[in-house]
Amino acid sequence: METKTIANSNTIQKATERISGSEAIVRCLIEEGVKIIYGYPGGAIMPVYDELYKYQDKIHHVLTRHEQGATHAAQGFARISGDVGVAIATSGPGATNLITGIADAQIDSTPMVCITGQVPSHLLGSDAFQETDIVGISTPVTKWNCQVTNAADIPGAIAKAFFIAKSGRPGPVLVDITKDAQFEEFDFVYDRCEKIRSYNPIPKTEAGTLEQAAQLINNAKKPFIVWGQGVILSEAEEVFKALVEKAGIPAAWTILGASAIPTSHHLNVGMLGMHGNYAPNKLTNECDVLIAIGMRFDDRVTGDLSKYAKQAKVIHFEIDPAEINKNVKADVAVLGDAKSTLKAILPLINPNSHVEWHQQFKDLYEIEYHKVIKNDIHPTKEGLTMGEVIHEINLQSKGEAAIVTDVGQHQMIACRYADFNITKSNITSGGLGTMGFGLPAAIGAKMAAPEREVVSISGDGGYQMTIQELGTIFQQKAAVKVVVLNNEFLGMVRQWQQLFFDKRYASTEMINPDFIKIAEGYYLKARKVVKRADLKDAVKEMMESKAPYFLEVCVEKEGNVFPMVPSGASIADIRLE
Amino acid sequence: MSSNTKQLYTVSIYTENNIGLLNRISAIFQRRHINIESLNTSPSEIEGVSKFTVVVDVTEVDIQKIIGQIEKQVEVIKAYYHNLEDIIYQISGLFKIKSELLFEERQIQNIIKESNARIVTVNKDFFVLEKSGKKEEIMELYNKLSVFGIMQYTRSGLIAVTKEEMRISTLLQNYNH
């Protein structure tokens, strides 16, 4: 690694110890406070596994059944704890199998450190066995990456990796370490990285912007807050809630922002975006001041940008300067970490309550309730709905479970109807939309927060993309509650085919295996529900189980998720049916 | 010029000297399907700091977003964009031509004189002309010479200094303290 980046300004001589590069890798992880890592061994990373064997009382290595599972587990770990998740793999296919999880972590700003083994440095570029240019491949989807070919560079690279992954807007990093560097001995000393000259993780809040923002908020007649994961990542939940309450402003969330304030909070007006709630979508185009906090105006949230909140002044609280004016032009950009900028603005905000404006949200909710919600969670038709399953889980978990979802209809339904009373409770693949994310992410979440109830909710499609992680659940005895909402379709794609492709159901019907037998094959307790009458009891049995539990619920085959903003349409054109 | 019309911009990127950074920076353009008109990397006025000079034909709205994405890279210290009026720039062209033409075609000698091109080397088979200037000047010389036949031709990336002060040194001092 030929970085001249950080001059090691720390000149105080620390005692060194002569150890191998591979032992140094494990020692670096211990120094960073890592206790659990997820991975899969192989040739180029074997020296590290040999050290993990020796240090198993300090670091618990979780053998996933696929490297992709290791990354999603590390993501789940990071999302529920706020700490850096760690995944480790060998060179070649081991490394390339990490890519989906890395890309997912990049777009969802999840702190993750990936360590890959690499062929010995003298073989680099020779098309050696299991050689792949993982630094080249991972470049567009990592916050930072590097290759290390000398043992002496390992501590510096790993220290940098953890600092970059966690600071500012978090993200995934990858450190690729050649096998000879793992074998080589050197004088080990570890200094945590606290600063990199070229890297400014938290931009300075520009003078006057807080005051301008406060003035706009104080003078607004119809202010509206849209918040994202930034609130959770900066652990700003408390001051955020204080701001919402003091200013009396209705607030809606992106799916990654969900749970920052409880679902039941009176000013929480619901979910934004394509399958979000009716009121916040409609009224985005009626507010006079739009206050965006830690969110990036993803196209699934905004719909057609040329018709998005054009009437409103926009205030954007954001840690990443590249997000300002990227999709929506900000009249006032408040740069910085949400926790500190919200703290700073709170005293400048006049207490207020926008009763009539808030009432508009309630009125539209009533319309949505009667047209959609009622039928989803209290259905009278014969087939079971996804919504009633989520509703039953709410009742029995008292809204305190962490809900880990996969991608598709069940995800939208879970985000819409789950009660989130505790922050960091909605763990889902938002930006990348990675089917197969849910099950392994739930394992990571449960291991990071064993005291919490973790419910993995998947569809029958995505579940089968990483179904082999049932083996990890069994081996780790991770008491994840695994729910599959089975409609025997790739439901979201089928819904689009129904609505926009004249019901031509191309390759969306699933002929499924016996999921119960598969779960039982992995020694999991398993139960299948096909009738409404059995749902309550089955969910109860699942929630009361101390061990991992698999619940399959056969839901109606052609249920649709509404409301819906058709792709490319304005959010104001949100459809209720 | 409206911020929605395309024009040539030079992007000056000050970076840590790091393997792989070129990949990271070019990926930002590639992802947005933007053609890089020219690219040059060199040491900068500051020791240990490299400078990329990239020329692209985009709108001002786009270039602002791209600068944001470039500065977001961990090992990028600072990036600036300028239009051609704000910089002093040069491009270099090299022309390899048969030596016999120099003696047989009197006009070539006039072209060399008029264009302020420099003869870098001459041997019995070929001679090499070097011309620095704006792209149009080099193209003009190319067009004149191509009538007689050019054995090889190549043009460098654009390099530039700004008319205004580039505040990179002060910035770095702040970082270092």
Residue that the structure tokens 């061994």 belong to: A41
Find chain B residues with C-beta within 8 A of A4's C-beta. 16-17, 48
User: Which CATH number fits the domain that encloses residue A329?
Assistant: 3.40.50.1220
- pLDDT mean values, one per 10 residues, chain A (577 residues): 44 80 98 98 98 98 98 98 98 98 98 98 97 97 98 98 98 98 98 95 97 98 98 98 98 98 98 98 98 98 98 98 98 98 98 98 98 97 97 98 98 98 98 98 98 98 98 98 98 97 97 98 98 98 98 97 96 95
* pLDDT at residue A3, as a whole number: 41
Nearest CB partner across the interface for A320, out of B64, B72, B176: B72
* pLDDT at residue A310, as a whole number: 98
* pLDDT at residue A13, as a whole number: 64
Residues A33 and A133 in one domain: yes
Residues in chain A: 577
Strand-pair partners of B56: B9, B36
Residues A538 and A392 in one domain: yes
Find chain A residues with C-beta within 8 A of B65's C-beta. 322, 325-326
* pLDDT at residue A7, as a whole number: 44
Active site residue A562: no
Percent residues over pLDDT 90 in chain B: 81
Amino acid residing at A210: L
Find chain B residues with C-beta within 8 A of A193's C-beta. none
Cα angle, residue A19 at apex, residues A17 and A20 outer, rounded to 5°? 155
Mean pLDDT, to the nearest integer, of B34-45?
A: 93
CA-nearest of A495, A503, A487 to A563 is A495
The phi, psi pair for B153, rounded to 5°, reads -145, 140
Q: Which residue range(s) make up the domain with A279?
A: 209-361
Find chain B residues with C-beta within 8 A of A166's C-beta. none
Check residue A79 and report its DSSP letter.
Answer: H
Residues in chain B: 177
What's the rounded Cα separation, in Å, for the pair B20 and B58? Answer: 25
Number of Cβ within 10 Å of residue B162's Cβ equals: 14
Residues A341 and A387 in one domain: no
Residues A334 and A392 in one domain: no
How many domains is chain A built from?
3
Residue A305 lies in a domain: yes
pTM of the predicted protein model: 0.95
Peptide bond into A111 cis (omega under 30): no
Q: Which helix (H) or strand (E) element contains residue B141?
A: helix B135-146
Poorest-pLDDT segment among A218-227, A356-365, B101-110, B117-126: B101-110
Residue A336 lies in a domain: yes
* pLDDT at residue A5, as a whole number: 42
Contact A323, A350 (CB under 8 A): no
Please report which confidence band the pLDDT of residue B73 belongs to, taking 50, 70 and 90 as the band edges.
Answer: very high
How many cross-chain Cβ pairs, A to B, lie less than 8 Å apart?
Answer: 64
B27/A4 CB distance under 8 A = no
Could you list the beta-strand ranges (E) of B73-125: 76-83, 87-98, 118-122
Residues A104 and A174 in one domain: yes
Distance from CA of B74 to the nearest CA of A (A): 5
Please report which confidence band the pLDDT of residue B105 belongs to, taking 50, 70 and 90 as the band edges.
Answer: confident
What's the rounded Cα separation, in Å, for the pair A316 and B171? Answer: 26
Query: To which CATH superfamily is domain B88-155 assigned?
Result: ACT-like. Chain A, domain 2 (3.30.70.1150)
Over residues B132-151, the pLDDT tens digits come to 999 999 999 999 999 999 99
Residue A377 lies in a domain: no
Whether B68 has its CB under 8 Å from any CB of chain A: the answer is yes
Whether A31 has its CB under 8 Å from any CB of chain B: the answer is no
Class of residue B17 by CB neighbours under 10 A (exposed 0-12, middle 13-18, buried 19+): middle
B16/A3 CB distance under 8 A = yes
What's the rounded Cα separation, in Å, for the pair B175 and B49? Answer: 13
User: Which CATH number fits the domain that encloses residue A174?
Assistant: 3.40.50.970
Residue A376 lies in a domain: no
Residue B72 has pLDDT above 80, yes or no: yes
CA-nearest of A160, A154, A143 to A118 is A154
Residues A389 and A328 in one domain: no
Residue A107 lies in a domain: yes
Residues A522 and A386 in one domain: yes
Nearest CB partner across the interface for B48, out of A4, A135, A199: A4
Number of Cβ within 10 Å of residue A423's Cβ equals: 19
Residues A425 and A533 in one domain: yes
- Closest residue, chain B, to A326 (C-alpha): B65
Number of Cβ within 10 Å of residue A497's Cβ equals: 18
* pLDDT at residue B176, as a whole number: 58
Whether B18 has its CB under 8 Å from any CB of chain A: the answer is yes
Residue B40 has pLDDT above 60, yes or no: yes
* pLDDT at residue A36, as a whole number: 98
- Hey, of B74, B77, B169, B174, which one would you mutate to test binding to chain A, going by the most A CBs within 10 A of its CB? B74
What's the rounded Cα separation, in Å, for the pair A290 and A311? Answer: 10
What's the rounded Cα separation, in Å, for the pair A175 and A32? Answer: 15
* pLDDT at residue A4, as a whole number: 41
Nearest CB partner across the interface for B69, out of A198, A199, A322: A322
- State the fold for domain B7-87: Alpha-Beta Plaits (3.30.70)
Active site residue A492: yes
Residue A479 lies in a domain: yes
Residues 302-321 of A with CB under 8 A from B: 320-321
Query: Do the strands A36-39 and B7-16 form a parallel or antiparallel pair, or are they unpaired?
Result: unpaired
**Domain extents for chain B?**
7-87, 88-155
- Closest residue, chain B, to A148 (C-alpha): B19
Contact B163, B89 (CB under 8 A): no
Report ipTM (2 d.p.). Answer: 0.90
